[in-house]
Structure 1
């Protein structure tokens, strides 16, 4: 299976996981959703270890743990920025940086996609910004600190993609085990330090578990994709995940898409087509 197909599937699954995560946070505290969903993801990837090819290596766990810390730090900063800034500004800034950071790193590392692929990557970055935009009437809340936190959050998420790519290709899913162990440890420590409850709301556990398993499945697809293709392509395609979240929200919850978001979804489809050109 090609890297483009795997990365596109990764974006769809990431978006579906976020949809379930959003449903879960309506019934439970954020820290409870994050910790329990990541525990479910860790159990899922552990079951996959004997099935998928690859062997254990200390370097795999090391790179995975570094990626997990970057992703967890990005998540904490993202939630802080959402709470203290304007969501319609924070979300697209974070999503765009998380896509652009790996793309720039890949180009700096010597990756040279075809012109059509580069055009698709550029269009995908625009699409990420468009589909991430949300309506807000409180633009005055945008300050420098939330903007800096949004930029740092995007760098954390982008760092997750980059660091996973550094793990040896023959170590299978072991980098994801390291990533989950590190991120769970960090988030649990933060929850205990801030005295946040980790008990899920009534009836929320199945939704939380589904979000965690889907998120890990997306990570597996990403790792398989980046082992087969260029980081500059795979990471940007994976970052198109907000499009599938929007589509699910539209047809499952009946939420309306704004015209700018529809344009972003269309742009994402065109971008995938351009990147897929051989």
Structure 2
């Protein structure tokens, strides 16, 4: 299996996980959902690392510290993303958050990678799509310009910044630790730190009901699997190819939201979503 296919598998896992996470968060709350999915991922990855006998990879403090840093940024990004999914439409939030690949590519450029004119044009097209997607154009004006920032859009933009930075940095610890162990470190620290952070901000963990618990288990496994697939793809393909393939998770979330959730984006949001998808697809194909 090549790096592009790993990226597409990561996209499917992320997209499905985000859709169900949004539903679970509406019942259990974003803080509780985030903690329990991290716990599920930790248990799943502990079994996987044991099965494949990769505990010996934990032999360098510097590499473990690097993995902890980048996975912490990923965790913060997920928190902002789920907050956006709760407060807004998944068909709007997901395409914006998927633009994290643009930030990853910009960082790659800053650190020496060079792109063609076509790839640069694709990045600009993606940013234009983000702008169109975040605006809700009302059919009739009441006051002001008739436009407002779509609910959840700001959270999605901040999530994209954190996720884009994290996914750029993950290439470094992956080379030494491997995909499974790198993500396992992140899930371990999240399981330990989230209850402490919640206590500081007086956030209470809510015990999920039976239906929500099933969703959280699915989300926890799929989200961990998505990150592992992304890391495995980095070992086989350039970062720009894998990250843009992974960012197509928004297509998956959109399909879940429209065909299962019954969401109906406005015309300008369809244009923005289309621009975003075309831009990301062009980056992936170059």
TM-score normalized by structure 1?
A: 0.78
Q: Offset of 1:27 from its aligned partner?
A: 1.9
Q: Paired residue for 2:104?
A: 102
Which stretch shifts more, 150-159 or 200-209? Answer: 150-159
Q: Contact 2:7 / 2:233 at 8 angstroms: preserved in 1?
A: yes
Q: Paired residue for 2:73?
A: 70
Q: Which runs of 5+ in 2 are unaligned?
A: 139-145
Q: Paired residue for 1:259?
A: 267
Q: Distance in 1 between matches of 2:124 and 2:198?
A: 38
Q: Contact 1:103 / 1:233 at 8 angstroms: preserved in 2?
A: no
- Runs (4+) of structure 1 exceeding 6 A deviation are 79-83, 85-88, 136-142
- Aligned alpha-carbon RMSD (Å): 3.7
Q: Offset of 1:47 from its aligned partner?
A: 2.5
- With over 3 angstroms needed to count, the CA separation of the structure-2 counterparts of 1:139 and 1:271, relative to structure 1, is closer
Q: Distance in 1 between matches of 2:244 and 2:135?
A: 21
Q: Paired residue for 1:56?
A: 57
Q: Paired residue for 1:208?
A: 216
Q: Contact 1:44 / 1:213 at 8 angstroms: preserved in 2?
A: yes
Q: Paired residue for 1:18?
A: 18
Q: Contact 1:7 / 1:237 at 8 angstroms: preserved in 2?
A: yes
- With over 3 angstroms needed to count, the CA separation of the structure-2 counterparts of 1:156 and 1:256, relative to structure 1, is same
Q: Which runs of 5+ in 1 are unaligned?
A: none
TM-score normalized by structure 2?
A: 0.76
Superposed CA deviations along residues 45-101 of structure 1, whole A, max 9, x for unmatched, are: 222225558651334432221122212333445567899x9989x958962763332
Q: What number of residue pairs does the alignment pair up?
A: 271
Q: Paired residue for 1:244?
A: 252
Which stretch shifts more, 186-195 or 117-126? Answer: 117-126
